[in-house]
Structure 1
Amino acid sequence: MLTEENKVIARRLRQTTRAVKANPLSLLLILVLLSSYIFGASSAKASPLFGNGKHPISWKPDRLELEVMQGVAQTLMVEMTSAVAVSSPTIFVTPSLTDVLSVYTEGLESIPVGQTVRLPITVQIPLDAHAGTYAGTIHIQNGNKTLSDPLQVKIRVIEPTSDSIPVGPALPSSDRIGTSIFETQYIIDELVVGLAMDTPDPAQKIVEIATSTNGLIIGSVPKVLLYQLRYPQATSFEALQAIQSQLRTDPAVEVAAISHVMQPFVTYPDDTEYTDPWDEAHPAGDNWHLETIKAPSAWDIQTGSSDVTIAILDWDFDNLHSDLSGNIAKVTGTATPHNGHGTHVSGLACAEGNNNNGVTGVAWDCTINAYDLGGPLFWPTLVDNMVKAVDDGARIANMSLGITMKGGLFTTEEHRLQQVADANNIVKRGMLYAQQQGKDVLWVIAAGNDNEDTKFTTPASLSEQFPLNVITVGASNQANELSNFSNHGPLVTVAAPGGQSNWFFPTEQLFSTLPRSYWPFFGYSDQYGWMAGTSMAAPQVTGLATLVLSEHPDFTSSEIKECIVSGAIAGGLQIPGEEFYIINAEKAVACEDTIDLPDEVDIVFALDLTGSMGQELARVKAEVAEIMQSLEALAPGTDFHFAVVSYEDYAGAFDSRTCGSRYRSTYGASGDESFRIDQPMTDDIDAVGGVVNGLTLGSGSDGPESYARVFWEIGQVDTGATLGFRADALKLVVNFGDNIPHDTNLNEGFEPPLTPPFGQADFGIDPGRDNDIDCSSVEGDPNNGDIDFQADALQALIDQDIRLLYIDSSEDTSFIQAWQFWASQTGGASAAIARDGTVPGDLDLAGLIADLLRLIE
């Protein structure tokens, strides 16, 4: 097996061979230069520049002072500039620092004249390190000769506490990383805690939690109320799980999760040169992936725009590579060498095209904001960078990373799914943050390289919870089949070329940009190479999304996703044995802003009129005509009929305790109604608009509502006849609400289980048509029985093939997640809006409902 040093030599010999082929007379010069490189150390010693007592290398900054907690690691970057060329430099760290500091020197083979070289330095404080100050220096040598002034370093090691909250995520020291029963690396003594976003004083609350559970606060992402707690008493995985269970009993804790290490989904073959012609009919060679997805045909329509900002969350970006320098606007974070993964991903998405140089991305032009994730990746670091990407204005975000929870002798499917749910509940805070800020971001995520069902992978499985704006990408090979490593299953949205795990035939991989290398006397040289994985498939979808948005700048994330999915289906390359297709760039970019619906569609607008819904109702009144007109314009061949129903709650107090429930409460105010038909089906838009604008709020308070009665009624044959449902129409209920239904066990039926579950799952019995709790089921007597939300109400919609589109203004994470699941059970979908009725991403309600329809068409 080649060592890293031998790989570098081999790569340079290949480059030398190409140079000699181009100009045989250059062989003599190359040999002279190569000998100068090999014997550079001895030549440097003899040079007058090295013998005059001056140090040619300077540091920026020239002094490091930092404060780091016990058990925490921190990577930072220093720069050095040399007045002369230096080969084979050696980094020397004084012994007083070697226990807490290391310098990453891989690839530091030389320092060119006048060039700035960045040097990663990792400060890592073990758990047993004593609090206090560690001081020393770092300098550069060549043999025994000192070439730099000393870089002064002072590190103050402090102990974490329960009452002080550091700002920013914290990386663990290596002695805190272990292997879990899921075959993942994890932090052995840490839990990541997310508080409810409406927590009145989150800082005080997390201090209370840490104090009461003997935890130490070591990091935070304040904008999404995420905190890292270290538990020294957790001496095993089981002990950590016990503390996790304790934390979940606190109503303010929405998520408490074990922190697993995420990785890029990639394999690393060798590099080669880019020489093959273009032929979409016969994809082959080093541009086979672009030919497979019909990128050249798409380029006849659109090649991209710098107006589209994409975020790439990854590792190791070279923003000075000539194929990327014009498109990468900035790199945020500390660059840690990672085999050029981020550079390769960036090139696949958006390497500059048509510039007579190197390679091209799926998009030729874009604005890339690159977020270097540093060393080992844990949830808080990822979420922190997701928040930064949102704040920086990204419309599309690529995440070629994740982790699959493996099965084993001591793990059940339920255990694996629970770990995934915990992790997803942390990562999705970055997505929810975008929605709360009114930002419309399309998240493109690699499915994973473990040949597993994607439901066991995070964050790829978030495509289920965020169907409007998450695309999970599997990998295909040159035979247009699933790559032999790719994750699969119904949570994969589309596939893109990702290659095959085959080290002997690199052309079964994907060819793209790699970080530049330095040649003494020649300077920096662009590099290119092969990689395979769903990490490589995802950025092609990101590049395609860039093309679609460039062509259709007003499109929402959902519309972009719909164009990519429908274009893949139209392209006809379905992965054998799977439900998803390989992307087709030409058809995606040529996408029209329409919805493919049946000839007849019947829509019931269901409106919650309790007192808390004032702003939402005002928004619906203002936009209801536009909603109906927009739908007719988006599906011009469809005959729409609309109806209106409304409700508050059951009037008066109800006691469910006689039927085994623990719930007794006043449901609604006097005069409230649990269900009424305000307008039967009609194609008269003006009539429907007039009815909606004539509705008035009741006086009911914000609490569980009569949703079970509403949906059950709509699913009844007699009520359906009164409403005027047409037999062959696609039947939809568009419900506007802000709470949850009456039911004695709202946690029932979730697969995987709702995380976190409703702390109080019993909200009383829904009395049904007779407004009376009589402990009997509507299955036995529809006019007198009580209604169970899951078994009766949702099932009634399912039995009549009526799909629920639920628009949730609760701003409650558990409610939003629950309604997404309940709506999906009917074949429908759910989306969240703000309390004031505004829609994330500067959309209107018409656009939001259209997006939901695209999910079910």
Structure 2
Amino acid sequence: MSGTALGGIALGSTVTAAASSERFLVDAKKVSASEAESAGLEVVHDVSEIDLLVVSGEESDVESLGSAYAADSVYSLDLPVGEDAPVTAEEDATDEPGYGIQWDKQVQNVPEAHEVTRGEDTRVAIVDSGVAAGHPDLEHAVNTDLSRDFTGDGYGAGGPYGGYHGTHVAGIVAADDRNDEGVVGTAPATEIVDCRVFSPTGGASFADIVAAIVYSASIGCDAANMSLGAYPVARQGQGSFYGKVLNRATTYANSQGTLLVASAGNDAADLQHDSDVISLPNEAANVLSVSATGPIGFNWGDEGLESPEYTPSVYTNYGTNEIDVAAPGGNYDPEAAEDGVPGYYYDLVYNTLAEPVFDDDGSYLGAAYSYGWLAGTSMAAPQVAGAAALVAAQNPKYNANQVRQALKNSADTVEEFDKTYYGAGFLNPVDALE
């Protein structure tokens, strides 16, 4: 499988997926955890809410259960071509409040939305590589008691153990707007729950992602952000089993009032016309699929934008009926980057970063906190998750479907570009609150 698990500058990044020979997803409608253990299997996740067991052991022992099963898959991230780290700000830029270079928050009129609500009494799960609870712009928001490590790698939760990506995503949702440093999040008063599914090595398993979805719903999250995925996944065979399991999880989350928000992917693919394959999890039932937009020329000089903030990003997946809304994810001019145009990276999304540090033995030593630019549908999805928190705060009796419809009904129609990139339109949090 190729596709995108975690966004970076994104162009040319791919995902490899390998079927596990030791971990399996088992349909548990007629099999209990105790029966699995009696068969010599270790139960990794008992996701009873959706009749699913994730087990570790020999396939012959799994077969002896007499229930449908599939091998778990592990997705790993290849870093973007030519980049082994996010673009970082110059020292004087990172030390000063960053709203002036947050074109994404400016185009959404986020300060105006905050006059109505900042997302109070809401909760958003970040299913990702780990959220740095100690980052100065996130220490107010992360609930470390509720945060969970689904990988089993022993590092825990509430830290950027799987990389900087999850902290950037969380900052887009909830970066502190009242600490006189750093950047602004869409819903700075929401509570963040770190659901870590990526490890420093080994990637993220499909089973761990499903378990994180169910957990997010079980603890009452108003939204769960999934800036991850795989494309293309065959609709037949093991892909069919994955689809059924995932749909159980997403249906459960929807019934519990949790809006699932997922990045559409960075393959520049037309999802509508790929009939034999599917993009997961964004094409699953009850998942709000988000494409990315971004400007070309923001802050390059005095001549203004070459293309506006709602321009479809060069990498974004698209497709009629496969995209629900478009949101700021950052854009990318390959020629400008290649030619070294000063400040070309301003067209990316600027937010919180936490780079994990490990010793030679793999022991976690801490994290370097900073701010920087990334681009991808990974950055677009949390814009929507943050907006969902605002809508939920303003309308506490709304269920997940009502929050989804508020976001879609208020999205701006864009006539300038092909509608296949936008679904209902371009995200408008202020109108969603009205």
- 1: CA distance, partners of 2:269 / 2:64: 31
- Three-state SS of the structure 1 residue aligned to 2:73 is strand
Task: Say if 2:356 is the partner of 1:356.
Answer: no
Instruction: Call closer, same or farther: CA 1:589–1:183 in 2, change over 3 Å.
Output: closer
Aligned partner of 1:674 in structure 2 is: none
Task: Say if 2:315 is the partner of 1:485.
Answer: yes
Aligned partner of 1:441 in structure 2 is: 258
Aligned partner of 2:428 in structure 1 is: 584
Aligned partner of 1:325 in structure 2 is: 139
- 2: CA distance, partners of 1:187 / 1:223: 20
Whether the aligned pair in 1 keeps the contact of 2:173 and 2:186 (CA below 8 Å) is yes
Percent same amino acid at aligned positions? 26
Per-residue CA deviations over 1:499-555 (Å, capped at 9, x if unaligned) read 12455521121000112799xxxx997410111111111111011001111111111
Aligned partner of 2:3 in structure 1 is: none
Whether the aligned pair in 2 keeps the contact of 1:517 and 1:524 (CA below 8 Å) is yes
Instruction: Call closer, same or farther: CA 1:257–1:292 in 2, change over 3 Å.
Output: farther
- 2: CA distance, partners of 1:202 / 1:574: 55
1:551 aligned to 377, 383, 394, which one?
A: 394
- 2: CA distance, partners of 1:417 / 1:458: 14
Instruction: Call closer, same or farther: CA 1:525–1:188 in 2, change over 3 Å.
Output: closer
Task: Say if 2:21 is the partner of 1:189.
Answer: yes
1:506 aligned to 336, 345, 349, which one?
A: 345
Instruction: Call closer, same or farther: CA 1:189–1:447 in 2, change over 3 Å.
Output: same
Aligned partner of 1:94 in structure 2 is: none
- Three-state SS of the structure 2 residue aligned to 1:529 is strand
- 1: CA distance, partners of 2:372 / 2:135: 13
Q: How does 1:151-230 map to 2 (within 5 A)?
A: 184-190=16-22, 192-197=24-29, 199=30, 201-203=31-33, 206=36, 217-224=41-48, 225-228=52-55
Per-residue CA deviations over 1:723-754 (Å, capped at 9, x if unaligned) read xxxxxxxxxxxxxxxxxxxxxxxxxxxxxxxx
Whether the aligned pair in 1 keeps the contact of 2:25 and 2:72 (CA below 8 Å) is no
- 1: CA distance, partners of 2:79 / 2:428: 23
Shift, 1:296, TM fit: 3.1
Per-residue CA deviations over 1:659-707 (Å, capped at 9, x if unaligned) read xxxxxxxxxxxxxxxxxxxxxxxxxxxxxxxxxxxxxxxxxxxxxxxxx
Aligned partner of 1:377 in structure 2 is: 204
Q: How does 1:309-708 map to 2 (within 5 A)?
A: 309-330=123-144, 331-333=147-149, 334=156, 335=159, 337-375=161-199, 376-405=203-232, 415=234, 419-434=238-253, 439-454=256-271, 456-462=278-284, 465-466=285-286, 470-478=287-295, 479=308, 480-489=310-319, 490-501=321-332, 502=334, 505-515=344-354, 526-569=369-412, 572=414, 575-578=417-420, 580=423, 581-590=425-434
Whether the aligned pair in 1 keeps the contact of 2:41 and 2:58 (CA below 8 Å) is no
Shift, 1:443, TM fit: 0.6
- 2: CA distance, partners of 1:364 / 1:183: 32
Whether the aligned pair in 2 keeps the contact of 1:324 and 1:352 (CA below 8 Å) is yes
1:293 aligned to 104, 108, 123, which one?
A: 108
The TM-score normalised by the length of structure 2 is: 0.73
Shift, 1:420, TM fit: 4.1
Whether the aligned pair in 2 keeps the contact of 1:310 and 1:395 (CA below 8 Å) is yes
Shift, 1:416, TM fit: 5.2
Return 341-350 or 366-375, whichever deviates more.
366-375
Q: Residue type of the partner of 2:345?
A: P
Whether the aligned pair in 1 keeps the contact of 2:123 and 2:220 (CA below 8 Å) is yes
- Three-state SS of the structure 1 residue aligned to 2:113 is helix
Per-residue CA deviations over 1:811-844 (Å, capped at 9, x if unaligned) read xxxxxxxxxxxxxxxxxxxxxxxxxxxxxxxxxx
Per-residue CA deviations over 1:297-350 (Å, capped at 9, x if unaligned) read 323332221x10111111132111111111112142225634411111110011
- 2: CA distance, partners of 1:563 / 1:271: 35
Instruction: Call closer, same or farther: CA 1:352–1:183 in 2, change over 3 Å.
Output: closer
Instruction: Call closer, same or farther: CA 1:222–1:481 in 2, change over 3 Å.
Output: same
Shift, 1:432, TM fit: 4.0
Shift, 1:576, TM fit: 1.9
Q: Residue type of the partner of 2:177?
A: G
- Three-state SS of the structure 2 residue aligned to 1:323 is coil
Instruction: Call closer, same or farther: CA 1:207–1:369 in 2, change over 3 Å.
Output: closer
Shift, 1:557, TM fit: 1.0
- 2: CA distance, partners of 1:451 / 1:247: 43
Whether the aligned pair in 1 keeps the contact of 2:163 and 2:356 (CA below 8 Å) is no
Instruction: Call closer, same or farther: CA 1:498–1:207 in 2, change over 3 Å.
Output: same
- 2: CA distance, partners of 1:277 / 1:434: 35
Shift, 1:566, TM fit: 1.0
Per-residue CA deviations over 1:257-289 (Å, capped at 9, x if unaligned) read 5524265998853111256997xxxxxx62111
Aligned partner of 2:122 in structure 1 is: 308
Whether the aligned pair in 1 keeps the contact of 2:36 and 2:43 (CA below 8 Å) is no
- 1: CA distance, partners of 2:15 / 2:350: 31
Q: Residue type of the partner of 2:330?
A: G
- Three-state SS of the structure 2 residue aligned to 1:471 is strand
- 2: CA distance, partners of 1:450 / 1:557: 28
Aligned partner of 1:820 in structure 2 is: none
Per-residue CA deviations over 1:561-601 (Å, capped at 9, x if unaligned) read 111111114x54675241522201111111xxxxxxxxxxx
Whether the aligned pair in 1 keeps the contact of 2:258 and 2:400 (CA below 8 Å) is yes
Q: Residue type of the partner of 2:114?
A: W
Q: Over the residues paired in the alignment, what is the CA RMSD in angstroms?
A: 3.5
Whether the aligned pair in 1 keeps the contact of 2:160 and 2:167 (CA below 8 Å) is no
Q: Residue type of the partner of 2:148?
A: T
Whether the aligned pair in 1 keeps the contact of 2:160 and 2:355 (CA below 8 Å) is no
Q: Residue type of the partner of 1:530?
A: W
Q: Residue type of the partner of 2:130?
A: D
- Three-state SS of the structure 2 residue aligned to 1:261 is strand
- 2: CA distance, partners of 1:207 / 1:323: 44
Q: Residue type of the partner of 2:350?
A: F
Instruction: Call closer, same or farther: CA 1:516–1:231 in 2, change over 3 Å.
Output: closer
- 1: CA distance, partners of 2:197 / 2:219: 16
Per-residue CA deviations over 1:756-791 (Å, capped at 9, x if unaligned) read xxxxxxxxxxxxxxxxxxxxxxxxxxxxxxxxxxxx
- Three-state SS of the structure 2 residue aligned to 1:313 is strand
Quick one: higher RCO (CA 8 Å, sep 6+), 1 or 2?
A: 2
Instruction: Call closer, same or farther: CA 1:264–1:430 in 2, change over 3 Å.
Output: farther
Whether the aligned pair in 1 keeps the contact of 2:33 and 2:43 (CA below 8 Å) is no
Aligned partner of 2:7 in structure 1 is: none
- 2: CA distance, partners of 1:366 / 1:260: 31
Aligned partner of 1:114 in structure 2 is: none
